[in-house]
Amino acid sequence: MTAYRVLFCDLLTDQLLDALPVEQLALDDWIGKTGSMSGTIPLPNAGLAARARHCVVPGRTAVWVERDRDIWWGGILWTSEITSTERGFLSLRIQAGGWDSYLDHRILWETKSYRQVDQYDIVRDLIDHAQSIPGGNLRITYGEEKSKVLRDRTYSKFDLHKYRDLIAQLGGVEDGFEWRITSYRKSETGERIKRMQLGAPIRTGASEIVLDHPGPVISYSWPIDATTMANAWRCRGATDNSNAVADSVPLMSALLEPSSEESLAGWPRLDGSSDYTTVERLATLDAHARADLAQARAPRTIPQVTVYMDGRITPALLGATIRLRIRDLWWAEGLTQRYRIVGLAIAPPERGHAETAKLFLEAD
């Protein structure tokens, strides 16, 4: 059986504190949102309870998940819950978030301005700034790639920005980017690494994987959600309070809307909006509106397929392309389509259950 091991380390130094047994282990990783890990540590005796009390400290403990000595997940322990049954059996439920969850707990206390700076360099400067403050260095590394997209940005200390929000908003604008912080072990030294990936979009893997149903794909689901769909859009920005006499009104982007019924291609008029309350430049707000409308134009579809772990599927495939082939009653004519993996949820083997992975897909 494939061996999973959960390591508990000091968050700031990454010094190993202990490796504890974890049951009901579940972990996921994503492009575009924070990954998570959860599980239950059984406490059958006083010795194991003492070890868990020593190393399971929410907010200051790092968690690494190994699969056969390879690092498959890393993040920060945020919550724990001790529970006791009627018979006195104890267990400790734990939950952790990916490394980027730390940036949700850090606020930019200074004003920073960028003029015609590559957007990747802005991200790296924000990471450097967060890690330069005492107690803030998680040893997140990054590359030197360029996006060739230059931005003007001013982040005021009065807006109390969280670092993660700044990076997400910068990437969410027109001609933006994707980002995530991946975990792996350096083969030469054995060092555990946290590395930021940037891409527009993020792509990995040299060749595509072919998955068939029936075949390696055990099951699938195909949600189609039109509740967030829109074909007209407007963004609301910061409110100008500089004139105490005049009414305070927010900055508004240009209204993006269909020019005629023909341009709707049979769809009804569907309006959407979004708020960027700290954006003070109209050009930036218009770029957000165009990007948001592009995302909302079609019903949201994120297919999910569950596969047995056959050696081809690893967390390193986030961003990789697969070719999915399905033939069943719904796809009677057969579906053959390329998709990019944007999310991955791993279910380690348990008694009576094989090791499986759920892949979350985006049309490529």
What share of the chain has pLDDT > 70, as a percent?
98
Phi, psi of 36 (to 5 degrees): -145, 160
Highest mean pLDDT among 245-249, 300-304, 337-341: 337-341
Q: In angstroms, rounded to a whole number, what is the distance separating the alpha carbons of residues 285 and 197?
A: 26
Integer CA distances (angstroms), 132 to 117, 120, 137, in order = 20, 18, 6
Q: Give the CA-trace dihedral at 24, 73, 170, 226, to 10 degrees.
A: -40
Which pLDDT score, from 0 to 100, does residue 299 have?
86
**pLDDT-derived band at 2, boundaries 50, 70, 90:** confident
Q: What is the pLDDT of residues 133-160, one digit of tens each?
A: 999 999 999 999 999 999 999 999 999 9
Q: What is the pLDDT of residues 3-27, one digit of tens each?
A: 899 999 999 999 999 999 999 999 9
Task: Tell me the domain boundaries of the chain.
Answer: 4-99, 106-199, 209-223+302-363, 232-296
Which pLDDT score, from 0 to 100, does residue 122 have?
98
Residue with tokens 């490796």: 19
**pLDDT-derived band at 115, boundaries 50, 70, 90:** very high
Identity of residue 1 = M
Averaged pLDDT of the chain: 93
Which pLDDT score, from 0 to 100, does residue 1 have?
63
Q: What is the pLDDT of residues 195-218, one digit of tens each?
A: 999 999 999 977 789 999 999 999
- pLDDT over threshold 90, residue 311: no
**pLDDT-derived band at 353, boundaries 50, 70, 90:** confident
Which pLDDT score, from 0 to 100, does residue 177 have?
96
- Asked if 288 and 276 count as a contact pair (C-beta separation under 8 A), the reply is yes
At the topology level, CATH places domain 209-223+302-363 in PUA domain-like fold (2.40.450)
Q: In angstroms, rounded to a whole number, what is the distance separating the alpha carbons of residues 325 and 344?
A: 19
- Asked if 353 and 308 count as a contact pair (C-beta separation under 8 A), the reply is no
Q: In angstroms, rounded to a whole number, what is the distance separating the alpha carbons of residues 350 and 304?
A: 22
Which pLDDT score, from 0 to 100, does residue 233 have?
96
Identity of residue 32 = G
Which pLDDT score, from 0 to 100, does residue 352 have?
74
Q: Of 205, 185, 203, nearest to 194 (Cα)? A: 185
- Burial pattern 325-354, b for ≥16 Cβ within 10 A else e, equals bbeeeeeeeeeeeebbbbbbbbbbeeeeee
Q: In angstroms, rounded to a whole number, what is the distance separating the alpha carbons of residues 168 and 152?
A: 16
Which pLDDT score, from 0 to 100, does residue 361 have?
95
Residue with tokens 């053959």: 336
Q: What is the pLDDT of residues 172-199, one digit of tens each?
A: 999 999 999 999 999 889 899 999 999 9
Q: Which two tokens stand for residue 205?
A: 């893997």
Q: Give the CA-trace dihedral at 139, 178, 188, 69, to 10 degrees.
A: 90
**pLDDT-derived band at 364, boundaries 50, 70, 90:** confident
Q: In angstroms, rounded to a whole number, what is the distance separating the alpha carbons of residues 97 and 100?
A: 8
Which pLDDT score, from 0 to 100, does residue 351 have?
78
**pLDDT-derived band at 244, boundaries 50, 70, 90:** low
Q: Of 180, 198, 184, 201, nearest to 101 (Cα)? A: 180
**Helix/strand/coil for 327:** coil
Q: Which two tokens stand for residue 37?
A: 């890990």
Q: In angstroms, rounded to a whole number, what is the distance separating the alpha carbons of residues 1 and 124?
A: 41
Average pLDDT over residues 29-56: 96
Q: What is the pLDDT of residues 64-100, one digit of tens each?
A: 999 988 999 999 999 999 999 988 899 999 999 999 9
Q: What is the pLDDT of residues 47-57, one digit of tens each?
A: 999 999 999 99
Integer CA distances (angstroms), 22 to 6, 27, 41, 246, in order = 7, 12, 5, 61
Give the right CATH number for 4-99 from 2.30.300.10, 3.10.129.10, 3.30.1490.20, 3.20.20.70.
Answer: 2.30.300.10
Which pLDDT score, from 0 to 100, does residue 242 have?
64
Which pLDDT score, from 0 to 100, does residue 243 have?
61
Average pLDDT over residues 236-259: 83
Q: Does CATH number 3.55.50 belong to domain 106-199?
A: yes
Task: Report cis status (omega within 30 of 0) of the bond before 214.
Answer: yes
Average pLDDT over residues 229-236: 96
H or E stretch covering 131: helix 119-132
Angle at 252 between CA 248 and CA 253, to 5 degrees: 165
**pLDDT-derived band at 262, boundaries 50, 70, 90:** confident
Listed range (204-208, 211-215, 268-272, 294-298) with the worst mean pLDDT: 204-208
Extract the runs of DSSP E, i.e. beta strands, from 103-149: 112-118, 140-141
- pLDDT over threshold 70, residue 241: no
Strands laid side by side in the 271-275 sheet: 250-252, 232-239, 271-275
